[in-house]
Amino acid sequence: MRKHLVAIIIIVLVGAGAALTQGVSPINSARSLLEDERNTIEIVREFGPSVVAVNVIAPLSRGQGFNGPLGDLSDRLRERLQRDPKGGFKFELDAPKQDRPARQGSGSAFLLDSEKHMVTNFHVIQAALLPETNELRDGAEINVIFPNVEDPIPVKVLGANPSFDLAILVPLDGKLPEGATPLLLGDSDLVEVGQKAVAIGNPFGLASTVTTGIVSAVGRTLPSVGQIPISMIQIDAAINPGNSGGPLLNSSGEVVGINTAIVPGNGGPFSRGAFAGVGFAIPSNLLADNLEILLSGGFTDVFESRPRIGITVRNLRSYPESVRQSLSLPDEGVMVVEVQTGGPGDLAGLRGANFTVNVEGQEFPAGGDSIIAVNGQPLEDATGLQELVFSRAPGDTVVITLVRNNEIMETPIVLEVVPRE
């Protein structure tokens, strides 16, 4: 009787357990990846190994810091947060040192071609360079670290362009780890608002960090990136200090931008705060347009070595609508205000303003040529004109479309390097 009772109890308990488990889903139930997830994983697997961490060590006087929109780690974080040899992190509560003969900055870069050229932002490596050269300062070092590779690789700066915040790095010994595949440059002119954006970089020293988002806007002009206005790609993919110089990839894994700047959550642009959903990347076409000069080596001062038309202009969109209508001016383009004597614009016959219109105490130059296109490409403002001209070489000819006395004309101009007055 007792054996039968035990058997009945066991059967009841097992049955109850089976009944309970029937309504519970397995913890590790399999789920197919979404197409977008698979795409991101493929991009990271194929191109992630070609994105490197850039470490800069430079002797600094007290009070100096690393320049640039994304800079390096903040003093507070750097003094507290140190990498543990075992791969984790440890906090150190020692008081900060009063004398700091050298300081380390961090950034990102990516492999550009089979010749081992790597692209980064100029501001990432600027502190290590002698002023207006691509030569390292005494005691300065720059090295890169590839993913899953322990040993840093010493590099030198082949070419530097502060005007566009670009630089090219090459290894000192010519060696790179196996498996590093050059990234392909995409056409940033084809980037559309809403398309996928993948950022890979080294934020806060956390190598091979991947974030995704979308392109939020194109054609954003930021005053503190480079030395001249640049039409940037705005993204919401999270980028932070240390991401500078890393690639912005599209869904095909093509580089469409170089991650450069953020608007932090604690204030204005380019401070060292955390990311607030607004990041900016230099368009890949700007890199492509200046690549030949960068690869030729040296320090490129755009204003001294690049051609200009030799004119002073003002954006027509800044004119009140009433002024544009009364003078029959285009809504977009630029008004030629002054023409430098003997410059390309002067030799081509461009005319500057010869009178002004005063509206509520503000003067608007008038009577000069209105430039509305360059080489058939419609012109919106002075930034667009500057980019089109700077992307050419001395001796190149551009065709300017202008409006003069209500007539549309085309004028060829041979670009030359014009000394600044």
The tokens describing 181, both together, are 């595949």
Distance, CA of 5 to CA of 30 (rounded, Å)? 41
Element (H, E) at 45: helix 35-47
Q: CB of 278 within 8 A of CB of 216? A: yes
Closest CA to 308 of 266, 343, 283: 343
CA 253 to centroid of chain Cα atoms: 16
Distance, CA of 169 to CA of 171 (rounded, Å)? 7
Distance, CA of 78 to CA of 240 (rounded, Å)? 15
Name beta bridge partners: 397. 414
Distance, CA of 160 to CA of 56 (rounded, Å)? 15
Q: CB of 269 within 8 A of CB of 246? A: no
Closest CA to 308 of 162, 381, 222, 413: 413
Closest CA to 134 of 359, 357, 294: 294
Provide long-range contacts, Cβ within 8 A and 24+ apart, for 355-361: 357/323, 357/327, 359/320, 359/322, 359/323
Active site residues: 123, 165, 244
